[in-house]
Every structure is written in structure tokens, then in C-alpha cells.
Amino acid sequence: MALSTLTWVSMLVSLLLLPGVAAAVLVRSLRTEERKLALLREQDDVDSYSPRALSDLREWIRANPDDPYSPIARRRYNECVRSLRAIDEPHYDWSDEQIARLELVDE
């Protein structure tokens, strides 16, 4: 039985949006983890937030200084900044200039 064009499109889109994405995510997740582990073995530490994620965290700390979770947020922020200063190769896409501009926050 020949399938109609619409059926083919429907089937292929389903395959791309589901198994295709799942396979891509699996590969990416495993590769990311492999790289993270290699960096950890070499440097004994790894940056924990991407530039955008750390920027969000900084904004949140500024906006919520009295939040009960603020001390944890500050520790995590500083932990990431210290890691970035100490390690040779960051996990995320940080430039030297971006790292140089980072400042610790009061804990």
C-alpha cells in the first residue's frame, strides 16, 4: 500500500521530533558529561554555571538580598567564580575577558 504524502510527512515529523531529538539529546548529554569528567580529572574542579546562568544568578542575588536562600546562592556564585579563576579550561563558553570581569559577592 502506498502512503500519501501527508502520511509520510506526518510520520517523518514524528520521527524527527521524538526519536531524533531523543537520540541527539542522549549523544549530547553523554559527550558533555565525558568532557566534564575529563576536566574534573585534569583540574580537580569545573565551572558550574554558564555565562548566562551565572548572570541570572548574580541578578537574582542583587534582587533578593534577604531571601532565605541568598547565602546559598552567594556561595554557589563565588564557588563558580573561584573555579573559573583557578582552572585552565572552563567547561562552558567563557572568554578570558568575561572571567577577568567577574567579582566575588559578599557571603
Partner 1 sequence: MSDSDPRTAREEWGSRFGFLMAMLGAMVGAGNIWRMPFTTGENGGGAFLVAYILLLYLIAVPGLMAETMIGRYTNYGVIGAFRKVLGSKRAQGLGLVVLIVNVALMSYYAPIIGWALYYAGHSILMTFTQPGFQPQAFWEGFINNPALVVGMHTVTMAGLAGVLVFGIRRGIERVVKWMIPLLVVALVAVSIRGITLPGGMEGVAFVFTPDWGYLTRGSTWVAALSQALFSTGLGWGIALTYGSYLSRYDDVPLGGGLFTAIGNTSIGLLAVFATFPVVFAFGLEPSAGSNLLFISMAQVFPELPGGSLWAIVFFVSFFFATFTSGLGITEVAVTTVSEETRLSRTSAVLASCGAIWLFGLPSAYSSAFLGRMDFMFGSFGLPLATLSIIALVAWKFGPERARVLDLNRNAGVYIGSWWNPVVKYVIPVVMVFILGYGVYSSIGTVNQRLMLLGVAFMAALVVVSTLVMSVIGDEPPSGSAAVPGGDD
Using an 8 Å Cβ cutoff, are 105 and 74 in contact? yes
What are the residues whose beta carbons fall under 8 Å from the beta carbon of 79, sequence distance 6 or more?
A: 48
Give yes or no for residue 86 binding partner 1 (CB under 8 A).
no
Residue 59, all three cell numbers: 541578578
Residue 50, all three cell numbers: 554558564
Give yes or no for residue 28 binding partner 1 (CB under 8 A).
yes
Give yes or no for residue 104 binding partner 1 (CB under 8 A).
no
Give yes or no for residue 65 binding partner 1 (CB under 8 A).
no
Give CA–CA dist 35/55, Å, rounded. 23
List residues near partner 1 by CB under 8 A.
Answer: 1-4, 6-7, 10-11, 14-15, 17-19, 21-22, 25-26, 28-30, 32-33, 36-37, 40, 46, 48-50, 52-53, 56-57, 59-60, 64, 67-69, 72-73, 75-76, 79
